[in-house]
Amino acid sequence: MSQKVAIEVPYVYNATVVKARCRKHVDILFRDEAPMLLEAVPSEQRHEAFRYQNSKVKHEIILSTFDGKDGVYKALLEPDLKTPLSPGRLEYLLSKKCVTWCDNPFPFAAAAHMVNRSGTDIIDIRTHQYRHEVPIKEWRWDDRLARVANLQWWLDLVILCDGVLYRRDLEPVWLVKLTSPGEAKISATTCPAGEDPFFTFKADALDEAIDFVKERLKSRFNIDGALKVSSAMAVRRNDRQMAAYHVLKVFLSDIECNPLQELPTHILRLYCALRECKESVLGSGWSEEICEQIIRNALTLSKVLQQNVGSPTCIKKSVLQRFSLRWELEEVDPFRGLSISFD
């Protein structure tokens, strides 16, 4: 039986105010803390699902499932990437040290004003004032409600179990990547990325990956890492879902490189739709047909974003062609049957 646990999450928000003894309004960043609700579950609901390791991941990664929850979860770690992250330590790290790290459960929400756009210069949240510390004559606008809602949206993807925070993650896969003509590498990983030719196979399909390299790619290969499936029930996401997830991830990262408030309204609506789609793929509810539609529409999405956002990463036609090779699609037509409206 799960229950809700409250934690205090520090954050900053934008406000438009007229200061005391002033006539013109100014935009100010204020700091505050928001009580967030975190779902806590008993330890007996957690079950080990996968263990994997590769040449880049020196320590074995354990992924778990939770009763009644879709997808797999990874224990979050502190900035040293060794110590399990607890709610108390998360509050401390966000409010006192203001560091950003890969296992921060609020990658965009809480860290939005802690780093610059290049993600390098850290700004201490303690340098911002509270609202009551600034003499104000008129309060015109602020985005507190939106920021708090965004924080809670990210925290809804996190589970507390035995004092440790777990974040929903991708299932590990066997990734086939061509390293040179006639040479391929089969790696255990959860993060296939980039536009270089790669193919993903489910965790329990190493033999299928090897046959694919031998028979379809006609290549020699080496195996990087180890991947153990602890429970057969854990292998529930298919490789079309994995591909659709990473296509969406590329487009979201392109949009997030720009100040969201400066984007056209229809692109903001598209951003919300893409984000919702990306997180939905992490569950088990998407059909292969919908995921195929996303893959087929990748070039159209790229074209729309290029016209409205600037110069985002383009999904090349070769990427769609390798999907066609892998799944023997009749035709890859990225301009057919758009499932997301751009109007």
The 3-state secondary structure of 183-220 reads EEEEEEECCCCCCCCEEEEECCCHHHHHHHHHHCCCCE
What span, in angstroms and rounded, lies between the C-alpha atoms of 184 and 180?
Answer: 7
Q: Are 214 and 242 in a shared domain? A: no
pLDDT at 188 exceeding the cut of 70? yes
What 3-state DSSP class applies to 101?
coil
| 306 and 249 within one domain | yes
Q: CA torsion, points 323, 324, 327, 330, in degrees to nearest 10?
A: 150
Asked if residue 335 is part of any domain, the answer here is no
81-92 pLDDT tens trace = 889 999 989 888
Instruction: Check whether residue 27 and residue 55 sit in a common domain.
Output: yes
The reply to whether 196 and 262 lie within a common domain is no
Is residue 131 in a domain? no
Report the alpha-carbon distance of residue 249 to residue 244 in Å, rounded. 9
pLDDT value for 275: 67
List Cβ neighbours of 79 (8 Å cut-off, separation of 6 or more). Answer: 93, 99, 101
Say if 4 falls within a structural domain.
no
Q: Are residues 211 and 163 part of one domain?
A: yes
Note whether residue 85 is domain-resident.
no
110 within a domain of the structure (yes/no): no
pLDDT tens column, 196-227? 456 778 888 899 889 888 887 788 999 999 99
pLDDT given for residue 342 in this prediction: 38
Domain co-membership, 216 together with 276: no
DSSP-derived secondary structure letter, 293: H
**In-domain check, residue 175:** yes
Of 15-24, 160-169, 273-282, which range is least confident?
A: 273-282
Judge if 207 and 260 occupy the same domain: no
Q: For residue 325, what are its two tokens?
A: 């090779």
Q: What is the pLDDT of residue 41?
A: 95
- Per the structure, the count of domains in the chain is 3
What gap in Å lies between CA 11 and CA 128, rounded to an integer? Answer: 10
Which of 187, 221, 255 is the last residue in one of the domains?
A: 221
Specify whether 160 is located in the same domain as 191.
yes
Same domain, 262 and 217: no
Model confidence at 76, in pLDDT bands (50, 70, 90)? very high
Q: How far apart are CA 176 and CA 192, in angstroms?
A: 9
Residue 277 forms part of a structural domain = yes
CA dist., res. 64 & res. 171, Å (int) = 10
Residues 213 and 149 in one domain: yes
Q: Residue 320 has which token pair?
A: 């769609």
Same domain assignment for residues 184 and 249: no
CA 66, 69, 70 angle in degrees (round to 5)?
Answer: 115
Look up the domain containing 301 and give its range. Answer: 238-310
46 located within any domain? yes
pLDDT tens-digit map of 100-134: 677 888 765 454 444 444 444 455 677 788 999 99
Query: Are 198 and 257 part of one and the same domain?
Result: no
Lowest-pLDDT choice from 30-39, 141-150, 306-315: 306-315
Query: Residue 81: phi, psi to the nearest 5?
Result: 60, 30
